[in-house]
A and B are shown apart, each in its own frame.
Chain A
């Protein structure tokens, strides 16, 4: 079998010899690497209050409980306001009786 030794492809040898003399472009990838590593998922960093909130509200049970509380609060406010108005009206009635004698 014929062997393709280096003398058989001396043209290619010369080509690669000249190619080896060529210098690569000046490349600085530090910023890109840092940016890519900063934004990679699962990267560990200091936990702040926002992470805490996101952590708490990421659970559906917590979200449902908060929603139930909000609805209950919304329903309670008109009722308590109604009671307050009623008691104020009574006070007004007593005051007018005292002032006017009626």
Chain B
């Protein structure tokens, strides 16, 4: 006789995000696991705009999802869980930009030996990339911008987010967001001119 399978209380197709969040808040990790399954693809897609390197991207996706779990109490049903999670992912990406800018600064200010090691690591990273050449190219171009400018450009151009939505996601205010976007684009234009890139191959 075939044994009847006990139905999981966190059946993916039946349970809503709200119910899963309620269970996860009580410490039910299997409920959160279902939420991770539902949203990890979209979060990966968003964070890929910030970081095309697979290993770093994996870390970023994990970091965003762990951060979300630790802040589940702050989620209110006024926004969808997906949208709230997206906001956390954007902030995780922003933190990543800030961190990479600090590392770039320390590379310039560090000792010759440290710089050599860092450059070797960078070369290794460059050798392993093949999957997303255009994304790599974009990141090379925006690499010298300030983290907040990089963030606006990433959301505006790569994620195609309207300025109004960017302002809401970052709690910046529309005029501040417009100014950041304007400055970033001006810098980009100067940089592209300086390198003589007038036409994209």
Does B74 count as interface, using CB distance less than 8 angstroms?
no
List the A residue with the shortest CB-CB distance to B66.
Answer: A36
Given contacts A15-B200, A32-B62, A33-B66, contact A4 B158 (CB under 8 A): no
Chain B: interface residue total (CB-CB under 8 A):
42
Instruction: Indicate if the CB atoms of A33 and B185 lie closer than 8 Å.
Output: no
CA gap between A5 and B33 in the complex, in Å: 44
Does B176 count as interface, using CB distance less than 8 angstroms?
no
Chain A residues whose CB sits within 8 angstroms of the CB of B45 once the complex forms: 24
Chain A residues whose CB sits within 8 angstroms of the CB of B70 once the complex forms: 40
Interface locus among A6-14, A47-55, A62-70, A87-95: A6-14
List the A residue with the shortest CB-CB distance to B186.
Answer: A4
Interface locus among B7-15, B115-123, B135-143, B163-171: B135-143
Interface size class, chain A? 20 to 34
Mark contacts of A15-36 with chain B using CB atoms, 8 A cut-off: 1 yes-contact digit, 0 otherwise: 1101111101101111011101
Chain A residues whose CB sits within 8 angstroms of the CB of B27 once the complex forms: 43-45
Chain A residues whose CB sits within 8 angstroms of the CB of B44 once the complex forms: 24-25, 27
Instruction: Indicate if the CB atoms of A19 and B158 lie closer than 8 Å.
Output: yes
Q: Which of A3, A21, A22, A29 contacts B131 (CB 8 A)?
A: A22
Q: Which of B47, B135, B185 contacts A19 (CB 8 A)?
A: B135
Mark contacts of B41-57 with chain A using CB atoms, 8 A cut-off: 1 yes-contact digit, 0 otherwise: 00011011000101001
Instruction: Indicate if the CB atoms of B62 and A33 lie closer than 8 Å.
Output: yes
CA gap between A30 and B61 in the complex, in Å: 10
Chain B residues whose CB sits within 8 angstroms of the CB of A9 once the complex forms: 185, 188-189, 192
Chain B residues whose CB sits within 8 angstroms of the CB of A30 once the complex forms: 33, 36-37, 40
Chain B residues whose CB sits within 8 angstroms of the CB of A18 once the complex forms: 134, 200
Instruction: Indicate if the CB atoms of A28 and B62 lie closer than 8 Å.
Output: no
Given contacts A9-B192, A15-B141, contact A37 B66 (CB under 8 A): yes
Instruction: Indicate if the CB atoms of B160 and A20 lie closer than 8 Å.
Output: yes
Given contacts A4-B188, A19-B138, contact A12 B157 (CB under 8 A): yes
Instruction: Indicate if the CB atoms of B157 and A16 lie closer than 8 Å.
Output: yes
Does A86 count as interface, using CB distance less than 8 angstroms?
no
Q: A8-B185, A19-B135, A20-B160 are in contact. List 13 more A-B contacts (CB 8 A).
A: A4-B182, A4-B185, A4-B186, A15-B134, A15-B141, A16-B138, A22-B132, A22-B135, A25-B131, A27-B40, A27-B54, A27-B61, A28-B40
User: What is the interface of chain A, defined by CB distance below 8 A to chain B?
Assistant: 3-5, 8-9, 11-16, 18-22, 24-25, 27-30, 32-34, 36-38, 40, 43-45
